A and B are shown apart, each in its own frame.
Chain A
Amino acid sequence: MKKITLPLTDEVIRELHAGESVLITGSVITGRDAAHKRLYELIEQGRELPVKLDGEVIYYVGPAPAKPGHAVGPAGPTSSYRMDKYTPALLDRGLKGMIGKGARSQEVIDSMVKNGVVYFAAIGGAAALISRSIKSAEILAYEDLGTEAIYRFEVEDFPAIVVIDSYGESVLVK
């Protein structure tokens, strides 16, 4: 299986093709509905963001609480389409990769092609398994949102599949 190390370079992104299984190692940020809404509103107002997006990979996840001795609780992907409204603005700010599950809008795919971005799927519902590849979790922003806060995860051999590549090719069944 192909192993990739973050941060993603344009060269690595160009070599990722829809259908490939990968193991991801490195640092990702998290964010889902409520955090996306806040980031989008700040971008619209032309204000500074609490996290840097340039070159980052974002994982759409709201983890369960960690049991003592665990870095993080079960943490599988949430449905990506709910982020679609906000995504092109984030890609224009330099976000290079997204990890989620399910389909994306044509607007998102067009923006991915324009900005050279890759979309991975993790296996929805395999949350306890996936959490084993998350080695640490720290809150970066929006702590008040609880599970919806923006975290930084250090991941090691995180299992994912390239479902839409930077050329706009998709393996999701329509």
Chain B
Amino acid sequence: MMQVRSIDAAQITEAVKKLFMDMNYFIGNDILDALRAARENEPSATAQNVLDQLIENHQIAREEEVPICQDTGMAVLFVEYGERVVIENGSFEQAVQEGVRRAYIDGYLRKSVVDDPVFDRVNTKDNTPALIYTTIVEGNQIRILGGCKGFGSENMSAVKMLTPSAGVEGVKQFIMDTVKYAGPNPCPPIVVGVGIGGTFEKAAMLAKKATLRPINTSHPDQRYAALENELLEAINKMGFGPAGLGGVTTALGVNIETCPTHIAGMPVAVNICCHAARHKETVI
């Protein structure tokens, strides 16, 4: 059996801090390449101008090590926790929250979290709590996939409990309707994360995870991969374009994640992400 491995809580805190600072300053090449390709592809001067500004913005953020966007999000972490890992000198939960706290305070990231959703709405001043979704896996490593999407696009997301007779046409219709309703608001060109299957909450989690997958990758099942391409093409015919000012680039990518589901159901969740699709992975 694989050896039990000890990891110091401080090591986890450091790794999480670096993860969130880096993802806020340095956009991934998947997004940068897609923005550059879109710039070449856009016929309108307005759309070209918007894309030029976005590309320049990424260069400034990288050089000055400042956030790409002022909305540095609510921190979300998908964790694969190896069952042979033991945390020394602290707890995993506290170590992660401390890493997020330090990233947002020491890294000049915006604190955008309020303590109570309806009544108090008082800022927690350190962007905690982060949302941590943990799966226990075999092994003695910890793999963390982090995201920090802003709420302009989060607010444009939706879940629908489709039933089996809706079929692939129903899935497509719901995704297109959600993107159309969002229109110019979620900072297009967007990344569309789609979760299909599981239960109500699983579909939403899969959709979030889909926004964190590089857009130059495809679903492993060719039928879903083809659906990703078809939807991307259809969304880009809507005409919203960069910043909603018109153009042929309304989305940079469509990522679908799937899961087995119930005989009576076909849940679909659409998590819309802005063009600053920030995500990063680390293994401890």
Contact = CB atoms under 8 A, between A and B. Distances in A.
B244 A173 contact: yes
Interface residues of A, number: 42
Contact of A173 (B53, B155, B241): B241
The 8 closest A-B pairs by CB, nearest first: A124-B187, A102-B185, A129-B57, A64-B110, A128-B60, A126-B57, A128-B61, A64-B70
Contacts of A6: none
Interface string A145-174: 111100000000001010100000001111
B239 A173 contact: yes
Interface in B55-79: 56-57, 60-61, 64, 66-72
B109 A64 contact: yes
Interface residues of B, number: 43
Contacts of B155: 79
Contacts of B187: 101, 124-125
Query: Chain A contact residues: over half helix, strand or loop, or mixed?
Result: loop
24 contacts: A21-B49, A34-B121, A64-B109, A67-B108, A76-B69, A102-B185, A103-B183, A103-B185, A103-B244, A125-B68, A127-B70, A128-B60, A128-B66, A132-B60, A145-B123, A147-B70, A147-B123, A159-B53, A161-B243, A171-B246, A173-B238, A173-B241, A173-B244, A173-B246
Nearest to A130: B57
Interface of B: 46, 49-50, 53-54, 56-57, 60-61, 64, 66-72, 108-112, 121, 123, 125, 152, 155, 183-187, 238-241, 243-246, 274-276
Nearest to B188: A124
A65 B108 contact: yes
Given A63-B110, A75-B70, A146-B111, A124 B245 contact: no
A73 interface: yes
Contact of A123 (B54, B70, B240): B54
